[in-house]
With several copies, the nearest count.
Chain A
Amino acid sequence: MSKQLTDLEHDLALLRQMLRIRRFEEKSAELYSAMKIRGFLHLYIGEEAVAVGVAEALGAEDAVVATYREHGHAMVRGMSMRAIMAEMYGKLDGCCRGRGGSMHLFGVKERLYGGNAIVGGGLPVAVGLALADKLQGNNRVTCCCFGEGAVAEGEFHESMNLAALWNLPVLFACENNLYAMGTALELSESVTNLTEKTAGYGVPSAAVDGMDVVAVEAAAKQAVATIRQSGGPYFLESRTYRFRAHSMFDPELYRSKDEVEQWKQRCPIENLKTQLQQQGWLDDAKWAALEKEVADEVADAVAFAEQSDWEPVEELTRFVYSDREG
């Protein structure tokens, strides 16, 4: 069966988004080594299909709560590379004026409520955002992205129960990359099939191949459709893998090079690229143009971040409390 033209254009758009995340993060890693970026830096490389696929199911009016591994999520929500890069430089033009850094990206028009670096800490917040929507009669979805490691936290349980009990429109988007730092899923969960966790809450669930962006998109659309119809929560597990270390301080003692290599064979970008090439929709020139476009965007973001100013030190204690009345 040959795809429709629009489908293929859509696939190309997905590919582009994934490539943007990949190249942006590769550059970030370099800049980390160059000490331009500091603190903790968690790369999403290998997992791009998840954020890109899930984002396709969400509208601009929907909200996202993410973790410290959220450059990709910020991008797919429409945040510019400039704002993210400047943030990681700690500059004034960063999305959070340099106060948040890599782990704390926020955006008003993107409805991105963090960038939360406490594992599980974003789950209750997402439930509350959905509650606000329900109370205000908004037909919106709040998508909470979290790693499989967060499933062990009490807040996962409490949040699933509360969202189900109060029938709140939360997409629980679990990014199962098999490890929480160095702790393999078997060492953290007695039942490793995460979709089995949701029966105790009566929350519908599904698992999807998180290395296949088209599949993730379809599953996420299905999930969001269910949510919009029921008004209640949904649990979607994307099975994925991070190709890089947990952060920049990880000797990766807990997994074998072989395992990593095998997963790299399933690179979401390579796979979609190959498919499109085989279908005759992507030739070398087009790919090169895409790479060039993305490289330019990354370079522009770096230049922007380099040139941006620092927040004056006098402003240190600003934003501890609001300047204005509520």
Chain B
Amino acid sequence: MTETRKTTYREALNEGLREALQQDERVFLMGEDVGHYGGCFAVSKGLLEEFGPERIRDTPLSESTFTGAGIGAALGGMRPIVEIMTVNFSLLALDQIMNNAATYLHMSGGLFNVPLVIRMATGGGKQLAAQHSHSLEGWYAHIPGIKVLCPATMEDARGMLWPALLDPDPVLIFEPAVLYPMEGTLPEKPTPVAIEGAKVLHQGKDLSLISYGSSLHKSLAAAEQLAGEGIAAEVIDLRCLRPLDDTTIIGSVSKTHRALIVDEGWRSGSLSAEISARIMEQAFYQLDAPVERVCSAEVPMPYAKHLEEAALPQVETIVATARRMLNG
């Protein structure tokens, strides 16, 4: 058996960064407060001391330009990791991400690929209100030319960065901010992780709970509760939001004949809609009931705790919806 040890999601990310910086001289990290501050959410803590200011670069507050500089540095032979503090600020860099990073390879007819990794914190649950709490990773998954990852487990938190850096094309990694303090175990030795494919984390025959990120943990909790009621839910961690793993999704739904998607994005136009549409297209005749969705309320996130909780997907809502789907 492999040795394991206790750690946190935050430390797992930190380890992933450290390993990448050790393994490849071309790798460097840049973003706001990644260095002297110790990382906005302490993810990059200690790296400045270990790798120095050339490779751990504090940037000015210039999201568009340091993201674009990441693109340029990638074109120039480096393997940059650009950190954008929070997904809301990435809107300032969206021109560079969509109009440049995602299009260079295609516009140039295959001449110039952009091996860039962009990481950012995402999601609500910390009472940070309407300018710091959105879950836009599913929205980003609309853009061809980029890949979109969302690690929800310790293994993925540590392991996804390296293959993302090996990928010849831009990869966006979204880290749900509420998961940073999450505790768990990791094998002592890093095990390779793929950056494609969903994973079935919990088997079940009655209903597929399809989820990712922080909602995954709510789905797992819901599955446990449902198990107590005699309902066997299968829980899928999407992991990779673009491209989506249709095989795993459709395979599960073909077995359970019922699907509930849990997605922290605002409901309309969220990733959950795409998954529902794909199930419609690929497994319509397998369904015993319409696919349903538990998403965030369509509201810029309110600050007050009770309102924020009401806005976000919660275990009770997942359980109640699943129960209704089976019994009703």
Query: Which of A106, A150, A180 sits near B107, CB closer than 8 Å?
Result: A106
Contact partners of A323 in chain B: CB under 8 A: 110
A316 touches B297 (CB 8 A): yes
Contact partners of B33 in chain A: CB under 8 A: 181-183
**B264 contacts chain A at the CB level, 8 A cutoff:** no
A322 touches B168 (CB 8 A): yes
Total number of A-B contacts with CB less than 8 angstroms? 284
**B113 contacts chain A at the CB level, 8 A cutoff:** yes
CA distance A126 to B305 in the complex (A): 30
CA distance A86 to B39 in the complex (A): 31
Contact partners of A113 in chain B: CB under 8 A: 72, 75, 112
Query: Which of A131, A150, A153 sits near B73, CB closer than 8 Å?
Result: A131
Q: C-beta contact mask, A180-214 vs B, less than 8 Å → 1, else 0?
A: 11111001110000000000000000000000000
**B273 contacts chain A at the CB level, 8 A cutoff:** no
Q: C-beta contact mask, B89-121 vs A, less than 8 Å → 1, else 0?
A: 100100110011000111111111101000000
Contact partners of A63 in chain B: CB under 8 A: 76
Q: How close is A123's CB to chain B, nearest CB, in angstroms?
A: 7
**A287 contacts chain B at the CB level, 8 A cutoff:** no
Given A129-B75, A152-B60, A322-B113, CB of A99 within 8 Å of CB of B298: no
Q: C-beta contact mask, B175-209 vs A, less than 8 Å → 1, else 0?
A: 00000000000000000000000000000000000
Contact partners of A39 in chain B: CB under 8 A: 126-129, 303
B298 touches A159 (CB 8 A): no
Interface residue range, chain A:
35 or more
Q: How close is B145's CB to chain A, nearest CB, in angstroms?
A: 6
**A127 contacts chain B at the CB level, 8 A cutoff:** yes
For window 75-120 of A, CB contacts with B under 8 Å fall at 90-91, 94-101, 103-104, 106-108, 113-120
Contact partners of B132 in chain A: CB under 8 A: 40, 103, 117
Contact partners of A91 in chain B: CB under 8 A: 304
Given A124-B69, A125-B72, CB of A311 within 8 Å of CB of B108: no
Closest A-chain residue to B115, C-beta based?
A: A326
Max count, chain B CB within 10 A of own CB: residue among A114, A161, A166, A326: A326
**A317 contacts chain B at the CB level, 8 A cutoff:** yes
Contact partners of A254 in chain B: CB under 8 A: 36-38
**B83 contacts chain A at the CB level, 8 A cutoff:** no
A106 touches B77 (CB 8 A): no
A100 touches B129 (CB 8 A): yes
Q: How close is B87's CB to chain A, nearest CB, in angstroms?
A: 12
Query: Which of B36, B63, B75, B130 sits near A125, CB closer than 8 Å?
Result: B75
Contact partners of B138 in chain A: CB under 8 A: none
**B66 contacts chain A at the CB level, 8 A cutoff:** yes
Given A135-B78, A311-B307, A321-B105, CB of A124 within 8 Å of CB of B72: yes
A90 touches B304 (CB 8 A): yes
Closest A-chain residue to B68, C-beta based?
A: A124
Closest B-chain residue to A35, C-beta based?
A: B305
Contact partners of A11 in chain B: CB under 8 A: none
Closest B-chain residue to A326, C-beta based?
A: B168
Contact partners of B166 in chain A: CB under 8 A: 325-326
Given A106-B109, A106-B111, A132-B75, CB of A99 within 8 Å of CB of B302: yes
Q: How close is B107's CB to chain A, nearest CB, in angstroms?
A: 4
**A269 contacts chain B at the CB level, 8 A cutoff:** no
For window 299-321 of B, CB contacts with A under 8 Å fall at 299-300, 302-307, 310-311
**A293 contacts chain B at the CB level, 8 A cutoff:** no
B68 touches A121 (CB 8 A): yes
**B167 contacts chain A at the CB level, 8 A cutoff:** yes
Contact partners of B310 in chain A: CB under 8 A: 313, 316
CA distance A226 to B306 in the complex (A): 47
Interface residue range, chain B:
35 or more
**B59 contacts chain A at the CB level, 8 A cutoff:** yes
A153 touches B76 (CB 8 A): no
Max count, chain A CB within 10 A of own CB: residue among B37, B99, B300: B37
Contact partners of A154 in chain B: CB under 8 A: 62, 64-65, 92
**B290 contacts chain A at the CB level, 8 A cutoff:** no
Q: How close is A177's CB to chain B, nearest CB, in angstroms?
A: 14
A104 touches B303 (CB 8 A): yes
**A261 contacts chain B at the CB level, 8 A cutoff:** no
**A136 contacts chain B at the CB level, 8 A cutoff:** yes
Query: Which of B65, B99, B106 sits near A159, CB closer than 8 Å?
Result: B65
Max count, chain B CB within 10 A of own CB: residue among A142, A154, A246, A319: A319
Contact partners of B145 in chain A: CB under 8 A: 320-321
A104 touches B307 (CB 8 A): no
11 A–B contact pairs at CB < 8 A?
Answer: A96-B111, A100-B109, A100-B303, A104-B303, A121-B100, A124-B64, A125-B68, A162-B69, A181-B33, A189-B60, A311-B304
Q: A-side interface residues toward B, CB under 8 Å?
A: 38-40, 63, 65, 90-91, 94-101, 103-104, 106-108, 113-121, 123-133, 135-136, 142, 149-150, 152-155, 158-159, 161-162, 165-166, 180-184, 187-189, 246, 250-251, 253-254, 310-311, 313, 316-326
Known: A98-B302, A161-B62. 7 other contacts (CB 8 A): A124-B69, A127-B68, A142-B72, A153-B92, A246-B37, A311-B306, A322-B113
